Amino acid sequence: MTDRLLVLVRHGQSEWNLKNLFTGWRDVDLTDEGVAEARAAGKRLKAQKIKFDVAFTSALVRAQRSLDLILEEMGQTKIPTFKDQALNERDYGDLVGLNKDDARKKWGAEQVHLWRRSYDVAPPGGESLKDTVARALPYFVQEILPRVLRGERTLVSAHGNSLRALVMVLERLSPEEIVKRELATGVPILYRLEADSTVASKLDLAA
């Protein structure tokens, strides 16, 4: 039987996650804890005895470095890897670089909550989750999904919102459901797909 395996993992904690800042497309590195989270993800995947054929990541260093650390832990650093900004985090526009508490003081808690947790309301100069889905989903359908359906075991290291876009289509979630879905840093989610791309099984490798 073809093993149509797709593993999604959100990058480890970044420097700006730690400082409670809106990050978006700003290129910040992992914290020491983020490095440890990525290594732990690699160890958990290694324990599953998975051999990946291909990996995808974003154009941002926190996702790329997480991927490198995961593959290093697994002893699989030689597999083909593709990087594309289609998998980048949601662009938070004018909020980028702001502390989330400061943003609430400036615009009000209700408005900031609406930008962060609505599906189709974008912050000034930025993207809504709907916009992020519109960017990430075509790349997934054209570049990633065909490989999975051919039986290539595929790893994707990306971001909370770009991965939400993929989870939304894989699990057939509504806009209301996906905005409530939290994806923890450094926790691999294993999907095995049927030939028609529906999910046969899902395993969350939380510690």
Amino acid at 88: N
Using CA atoms, how far residue 196 sits from 16, 139, 193, in Å, is 39, 18, 8
Describe the crossing of helices 129-139 and 160-170 by its angle, rounded to 10 degrees.
70
Closest alpha carbon to 185 in 154, 206, 156: 206
pTM assigned to the model: 0.95
pLDDT of residue 79: 97
Q: Are 139 and 86 in contact (CB under 8 A)?
A: yes
Q: Measured between alpha carbons, how far is 39 from 195 in angstroms, rounded to an integer?
A: 32
In DSSP terms, 189 is beta-bridged to 8, 204
pLDDT of residue 54: 98
Q: Are 59 and 91 in contact (CB under 8 A)?
A: no
Number of Cβ within a 10 Å radius of residue 51: 12
**Choosing from 11, 37, 73, 152, which is the catalytic residue?**
11
Q: Domain of 189?
A: 5-204
Tokens standing for residue 33: 């804890």
Q: Are 68 and 39 in contact (CB under 8 A)?
A: no
pLDDT of residue 196: 94
Instruction: Spell out the alpha helix ranges (H) of 75-193.
Output: 100-107, 109-117, 129-139, 145-149, 160-170, 175-178
> Residues with Cβ < 8 Å from 142, sequence gap 6 or more?
none
Q: Measured between alpha carbons, how far is 205 from 197 in angstroms, rounded to an integer?
A: 21
> Residues with Cβ < 8 Å from 195, sequence gap 6 or more?
2, 4, 149
- Indicate if 113 belongs to the active site: no
Q: Are 196 and 15 in contact (CB under 8 A)?
A: no
Q: pLDDT by residue for the chain (207 residues), tens digit each?
A: 568 999 999 999 999 998 999 999 999 999 999 999 999 999 999 999 999 999 999 999 999 999 999 999 999 999 999 999 999 999 999 999 999 999 999 999 999 999 988 999 999 999 999 999 999 999 999 999 999 999 999 999 999 999 999 999 999 999 999 989 999 999 999 999 999 999 999 999 986
pLDDT of residue 33: 96
Q: Measured between alpha carbons, how far is 127 from 11 in angstroms, rounded to an integer?
A: 20
pLDDT of residue 133: 96
Specify the CATH number for the domain of residue 156.
Answer: 3.40.50.1240
**Choosing from 73, 89, 127, 152, which is the catalytic residue?**
89
Domains of the chain: total: 1
Using CA atoms, how far residue 158 sits from 25, 101, 139, 163, 177, in Å, is 12, 25, 13, 6, 20
- Indicate if 176 belongs to the active site: no
Can you tell me whether residue 6 is helix, strand or coil? strand
pLDDT of residue 207: 65
